[in-house]
């Protein structure tokens, strides 16, 4: 499972950071999902290997413009580039009205179908061959969701010594048993796959949250999660100066939550545009890292645009070269 | 009068060129207008000295997304940056519906008023202290306009030898006469400004066109114009391959028109994303330049992103360092 951060700024873009967009790859390099789509997401994609032709679904946490204004352009460009495959758009129900009216009033006709799916429905669940996705309500100025991605197909390990001990001859049957298939041997014996295989590791589980002032709402969803991507719009002192109205989290809040639940990997993103990479012109992103690491002992990462992270099968998190 | 090209690609952005946006400065460096606003225009502005706080008006040639999808984000960012000054939005009447629904359905509340003005009205005319603007209907898949910007205040030249010959004493009165004011001298004589000043040059006139397959529609508007910015989406051979449906112009068509009316300065822009700066991966922008220069003897410029051009008072066109 690979994450590519396409934008890490809150509200407005800066020269170094775009507004929110996050690509999640799983099931091969040409199989990816987009979570949120701020203005300029399609421009960011031009600097990656990801193509809208292979995009499997778009997930939208909430309607705010810094998470949605890139949708009409990305969809139009996909169409102009020849996409015909239907595209699920999974998010708040208002998205449908926004997109349909935007596309109609700008004479933008898509060459593929948009399949709108309400992520706020009580029974929301989505899956394809590679992942199952659920949504978790958060606390923000508008309805907002986190999405939990669960890996669906964990490769089974064949218990070869047990097969040999029971006299199941090596051959094509072993391959079928490993793939989860029950087989009947030539001698009439029924071999159930589950008796001769084991699942050697937990399925990977990643939670990607939208804007949220109450990280604790994710306690249930983060149980057995390996990685949480969460906003940390401010440091605590800036959050106190700004006041509660924007309904964002501070780095301290998210770190305390991640520590309390024993989360292995925490990635912070969605930093207020006031935070700079370099000292000299206002607060720096290092202040957010410093604050979070004071409260969280796990693996802390502060996202930056075009950062690529891979959650390996052994559940280690690896930064890839851009 | 200064032009800054914020995007020179048609339809979709490329790594080197954004979709359409053009800044026109006149009346001081902090007084500028935006013509069209494709997605990412606010990002491009971050790399210039122009600020949305000093933006005087937005002109929109037509509703297509590559000319409009940047509007919601640019307006929202202006609001988040503290703009309170009302902003005229001058364009097709459908813009109002598009923007109002987009902003409402994304919970984007602006801290300033949008003043929608229908550029397609028969009696359309707009002006401020610096420029007067008219619109000209073009031929495209949707209603589309060109905007003609006429400089309003040309500095008067004082006829000092005539003033001296008539015994008008040098003093504060000379300054008032130069500014166009009629004065009564201490001896009772009435001095009309127009009799003692002259306007030493024609007012600068710039025509900025939207998408259009019939440049000849601009013949009237370009009379006495010094500069035309016009799309040249394709070379003639590509245009013939694509067919007439997109209703764009070829470089040849625009060049022939500019030659026929004796236009001093022609700036081509809005090049199909297939055209690259460097040879090797498809057609190059130089092919468009080569085609146009074969038919046009005037001053030909092919726009590129962040190019700045100044139309001087002496009507020469100067490329400024970025």
**Which residue numbers of A are catalytic?**
66
Beta strand A317-320 pairing with B183-184: unpaired
What is the mean predicted confidence (pLDDT) over B13-24?
97
Contact B248, B233 (CB under 8 A): yes
CA distance A299 to chain B (A): 32
Residue B54: which pLDDT band, with cuts at 50, 70 and 90?
A: very high
Do B142 and B63 meet the contact criterion of CB atoms below 8 Å apart? yes
What residues in A contact B72, CB-CB < 8 Å? 39, 65, 69
Q: How confident is the model at residue B322 (pLDDT cuts 50, 70, 90)?
A: low
* Residue of B221, B167, B153, B154 whose CA lies nearest to B196: B167
Give the pLDDT band (50/70/90) at residue B321: confident
Amino acid A147: pLDDT: 98
Percentage of chain B surpassing pLDDT 70?
A: 100
Report the distance separating Cα A284 and Cα B258, nearest Å. Answer: 52
Tokens at residue B145, please? 């306009």
- Tokens matching residue A144: 């907002």
The fraction of chain B above a pLDDT of 90, given in percent, is 93
pLDDT bin (cut points 50, 70, 90) of residue B279 is: confident
The mean pLDDT value of chain B amounts to: 95
ipTM of the complex: 0.92
A141 and chain B in contact, CB less than 8 A: yes
* A322: its two tokens: 């851009």
Q: Whole-number mean pLDDT of chain A? A: 95
> Quick one: which of A305, A303, A226, A210 has its CA closest to A258?
A226
User: Is A80 close to B12, i.e. CB distance below 8 A?
Assistant: yes
Is there a contact between B15 and A64 if contact means CB atoms under 8 Å apart? no
Which residue(s) pair with A117 in the sheet?
A90
Q: Is B305 annotated as a binding residue?
A: no
Whether residue B126 is predicted with pLDDT greater than 70 in this model: the reply is yes
Q: What is the mean pLDDT of residues B141-152?
A: 97
Residue B198, C-beta contacts closer than 8 angstroms, at least 6 positions apart: B156, B157, B159
Instruction: Please determine, for residue A322, whether its predicted confidence score (pLDDT) is greater than 70.
Output: no
Domains by residue range for chain B, with CATH: 2-154+201-320 (3.60.15.10), 157-198 (no CATH)
Residue B203: partners with Cβ closer than 8 Å, 6 or more residues away: B150, B151, B152, B154
Length of chain B: 322
CA A228 to chain centre: 9
Determine the pLDDT at residue A321.
72
Chain B positions in Cβ-Cβ contact with residue A12 (cut-off 8 Å): 42, 76-77, 80-81
Check if the beta carbon of residue A77 is closer than 8 Å to that of residue A50: no
Of A65, A76, A108, the CB nearest to B73: A65
Please tell me the predicted confidence (pLDDT) of residue B153: 85
Q: Is the pLDDT of residue B281 over 90?
A: no
Interface size, chain A vs chain B, as Cβ–Cβ contacts under 8 Å: 114
A26 assigned to a ligand binding site: no
Nearest to B46 among A13, A68, A108 (CB): A13
- Quote the CA–CA distance of B110 and A304 in Å, as a whole number: 29
Provide the strand spans (E) within B60-130. Answer: 87-91, 114-118, 126-127
Each residue's pLDDT tens digit, B31-51: 999 999 999 999 999 999 999
A38, A65, A102: residue with CB nearest B98: A102
Is B92 in the A-facing interface, judged by CB distances under 8 Å? no
The per-residue pLDDT for range A210-262, each reduced to its tens digit, is: 999 999 999 999 989 999 999 999 999 999 999 999 999 999 999 999 999 99
The verdict on a CB contact (< 8 Å) between A73 and B42 is: no
Task: Give yes or no for residue B277 having a pLDDT over 90.
Answer: no
Q: Are B41 and B64 in contact (CB under 8 A)?
A: no
Residue B102 contacts A, CB cutoff 8 Å? yes
CA distance B135 to B121: 9
State the burial class of residue A164 (Cβ atoms within 10 Å of its Cβ: 0-12, 13-18, 19+). exposed
Residue B19 structure tokens: 């979709």
Pick from A11, A81, A105: CB nearest B98 = A105
Task: Give contacts of B63 with chain A, Cβ < 8 Å.
Answer: 105-107
What are the pLDDT digits (tens) for A5-28?
999 999 999 999 999 999 999 977
Exposure of B57 in the CB half-sphere (CA atoms within 13 A): 21
Of B240, B235, B263, residue with least CA distance to B251: B235
Is A70 part of the contact surface with chain B (CB cutoff 8 Å)? Answer: yes
Q: Which two tokens stand for residue A69?
A: 């204004």
Using the structure block, give the residue that is written with the tokens 């040309």.
B154
Q: pLDDT above 70 covers what percent of chain A?
A: 100
Task: Tell me the pLDDT tens digit for each residue of A109-125.
Answer: 999 999 999 999 999 99
Residue B211 assigned ligand-binding role: yes
The answer to whether the Cβ–Cβ distance between B73 and A69 falls below 8 Å is yes
Going by C-alpha positions, the residue among B278, B280, B285, B313 that lies closest to residue B300 is: B285
Tell me the three state secondary structure of residue A271. Answer: strand
Q: pLDDT tens across A20-56, in order? A: 999 999 977 789 999 999 999 999 999 999 999 999 9
Residues of A in contact with B76 (CB under 8 A): 12, 65-66, 69
Q: Could you give the percent of chain A with pLDDT greater than 90?
A: 92
- Taking alpha carbons only, the member of A140, A302, A138 closest to residue A221 is A138
Interchain contact B11–A (C-beta under 8 A):
yes
Question: Is the Cβ pair B76, A70 closer than 8 Å?
Answer: no
Within 244-303 of B, beta carbons closer than 8 Å to A belong to: none
pLDDT of residue B30: 85
Lowest mean pLDDT among A8-22, B67-81, B274-288: B274-288
User: Does B66 participate in catalysis according to the annotation?
Assistant: yes
Sign of CA dihedral A288, A289, A292, A294: negative
Q: How far is A300 from A258, CA to CA, in rounded Å?
A: 10
Cα–Cα dist B278/B265, whole Å: 25
Q: Which of B52, B76, B141, B142 to mutate to test the interface with A (most CBs of A within 10 A)?
A: B76
The whole-angstrom distance between A62's CA and the closest CA on chain B is 8
Residues A244, A140: Cα–Cα separation, whole Å: 10
């Amino acid at each position: 499972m690979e994450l590519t951060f396409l934008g890490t700024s809150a509200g407005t873009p800066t020269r170094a950071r775009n507004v929110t967009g996050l690509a999640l790859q799983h099931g091969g390099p040409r199989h990816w999902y987009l979570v949120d789509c701020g203005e300029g997401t399609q421009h960011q994609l031009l600097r990656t290997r990801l193509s809208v032709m292979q995009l499997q679904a778009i997930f939208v946490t909430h309607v705010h413009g810094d998470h949605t204004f890139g949708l009409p352009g990305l969809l139009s460009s996909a169409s102009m580039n020849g996409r015909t495959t239907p595209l699920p758009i999974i998010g708040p129900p208002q998205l449908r009205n926004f997109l349909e009216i935007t596309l109609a009033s700008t004479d933008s006709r898509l060459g593929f179908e948009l399949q709108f799916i309400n992520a706020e429905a009580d029974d929301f669940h989505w899956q394809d061959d590679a992942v199952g996705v659920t949504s978790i309500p958060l606390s923000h100025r508008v309805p907002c969701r986190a999405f939990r991605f669960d890996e669906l197909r964990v490769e089974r390990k064949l218990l070869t010594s047990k097969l040999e001990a029971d006299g199941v001859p090596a051959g094509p049957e072993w391959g079928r048993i490993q793939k989860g298939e029950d087989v009947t041997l030539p001698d009439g014996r029924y071999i159930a796959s589950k008796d001769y295989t084991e699942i050697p590791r937990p399925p990977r589980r990643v939670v990607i949250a939208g804007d949220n002032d109450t990280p604790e709402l994710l306690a249930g969803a983060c149980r057995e999660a390996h990685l949480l991507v969460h906003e940390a719009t401010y440091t605590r002192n800036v959050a106190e100066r700004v006041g509660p109205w924007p309904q964002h989290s501070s780095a301290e809040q998210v770190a305390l939550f991640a520590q309390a639940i024993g989360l292995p990997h925490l990635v912070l993103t969605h930093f207020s545009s006031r935070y700079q990479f370099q000292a000299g012109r206002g607060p720096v992103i290092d202040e957010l890292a410093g604050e979070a690491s004071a409260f969280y002992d796990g693996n802390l990462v502060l996202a930056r645009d075009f950062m690529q992270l891979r959650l390996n099968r052994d559940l280690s998190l690896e930064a890839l070269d851009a």
